[in-house]
């Protein structure tokens, strides 16, 4: 058994012994999160199966992990914040709701084993896997968003074929994409006005492709409409550097050598991107309406 999972199970058993007077209990939950599985603690209500069941990960409790009272206080606060929220499961799993709200995210195809094991719906594309998810607004808050990654059995129950699902998801993400110059992105990070942007006149022109939430925004490259918009902005063919699962960087084709671009991706992946947010180490070219690996 996974060492972390064993630790989580043991810790949950210890905590549950101290929750006899509470309205909730804890269970260890395994979920696919971007590049691999994560084990979290799910807070389950004892008296209503339709109540929200938030999942909390160990990294959120690292500084209090071995303090029973503080962990229970932390989890109870989350329970209280969510105990009156309920999921409308029938609506969330309905055909119309899924097709109207489905979105896309892309992960490395190195995850294929876990994806198949968990029966998650997917489509292979280049060296990536396309996954489908829907946001759950009832479970979201100002600090975090909640989503459901769709599985094959859920699509089967809703009577949705993969082609129909993919077409709907692409239409949905086309209403929520953002292409910004690197200068603008840097200004947003530094919280300075555009007129105070660092001088980048000698650098290669770069654009960041993502979505308005900057979450799973790299999936924007699955849309020909979005890629054509970037091509128009750049003025021709361009290269895509997958900086993370949340965004990609577009640069004009021919401005940098292929190996230099690959080295740039390696450098960013290895030193600036967390393993769970890493997409791939490849570089892509968009030309004549087609995306390909360079």
Query: Per-residue pLDDT tens for 247-281?
Result: 999 999 988 788 888 998 999 889 888 888 999 99
Mean of pLDDT values over 63-84: 88
What pLDDT score was predicted for residue 245? 94
What are the residue boundaries of the structural domains of the chain, listed by start? 3-82, 96-173, 177-293
User: What are residue 239's phi and psi, to 5 degrees?
Assistant: -105, 145
Residue 229: pLDDT over 70: yes
**pLDDT tens figures, 160-201:** 999 999 999 999 999 999 998 877 766 666 667 766 666 655
Instruction: Give me the chain's average pLDDT, please.
Output: 86
What pLDDT score was predicted for residue 238? 95
Residue 164's nearest CA partner among 225, 102, 220, 218 is 102
What is this structure's pTM?
A: 0.82
Residue 144: pLDDT over 80: no
**pLDDT tens figures, 212-223:** 888 899 999 999
Mean of pLDDT values over 45-68: 80
Question: How far is the C-alpha of 111 from the C-alpha of 114, rounded, in Å?
Answer: 6
Cβ within 8 Å of residue 202, ≥6 positions away: none
**Structure-model confidence comparison of residues 242 and 135, the more confident one:** 242
**Structure-model confidence comparison of residues 45 and 133, the more confident one:** 133
Residue 33: pLDDT over 80: no
What pLDDT score was predicted for residue 97? 92
Residue 49: pLDDT over 80: no
**Structure-model confidence comparison of residues 114 and 83, the more confident one:** 114
Strand pairing partners for 24? 45
What pLDDT score was predicted for residue 21? 82
**Structure-model confidence comparison of residues 88 and 23, the more confident one:** 23
Cβ within 8 Å of residue 256, ≥6 positions away: 204, 239, 264
**Least confidently predicted of 15-24, 133-142, 272-281:** 133-142
What pLDDT score was predicted for residue 160? 95
Residue 229's nearest CA partner among 253, 207, 247, 244 is 207
Tokens coding 101: 């709200």
- Highest mean pLDDT among 28-42, 203-217, 223-237 belongs to 223-237
Question: How far is the C-alpha of 31 from the C-alpha of 69, rounded, in Å?
Answer: 26
């Amino acid at each position: 058994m996974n060492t972390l999972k064993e630790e989580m199970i043991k810790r949950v058993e210890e905590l549950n012994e101290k929750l006899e007077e509470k309205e909730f209990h804890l269970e260890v939950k395994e979920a696919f999160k971007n590049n691999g599985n994560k084990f979290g603690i799910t807070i389950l209500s004892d008296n209503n199966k339709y109540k929200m069941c938030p999942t909390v990960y160990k990294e959120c409790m690292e500084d209090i992990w071995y303090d029973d009272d503080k962990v229970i206080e932390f989890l109870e606060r989350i329970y209280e914040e969510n105990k009156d929220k309920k999921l409308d499961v029938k609506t969330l799993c309905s055909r119309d709701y899924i097709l109207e709200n489905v979105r896309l995210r892309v992960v490395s195809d190195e995850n294929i084993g876990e994806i198949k094991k968990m029966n998650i719906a997917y489509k292979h594309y280049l060296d990536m896997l396309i996954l489908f998810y829907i946001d759950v607004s009832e479970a979201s808050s100002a600090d975090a968003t909640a989503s459901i990654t769709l599985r094959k059995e859920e699509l089967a129950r809703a009577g949705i074929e993969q082609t129909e699902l993919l077409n709907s998801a692409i239409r949905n993400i086309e209403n929520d994409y953002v292409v910004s110059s690197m200068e603008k992105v840097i200004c947003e990070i530094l919280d300075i006005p555009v007129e105070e942007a660092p001088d980048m006149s000698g650098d290669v022109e770069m654009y960041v492709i993502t979505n308005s939430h900057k979450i799973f925004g790299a999936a924007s490259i699955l849309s020909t409409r979005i890629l054509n918009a970037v091509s128009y902005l750049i003025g021709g063919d361009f290269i895509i550097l997958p900086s993370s699962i949340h965004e990609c960087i577009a640069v004009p084709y021919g401005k940098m050598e292929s190996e230099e671009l690959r080295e740039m991706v390696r450098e960013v992946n290895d030193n600036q991107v967390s393993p769970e947010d890493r997409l791939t180490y490849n570089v892509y070219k968009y030309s004549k309406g087609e995306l390909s690996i360079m």
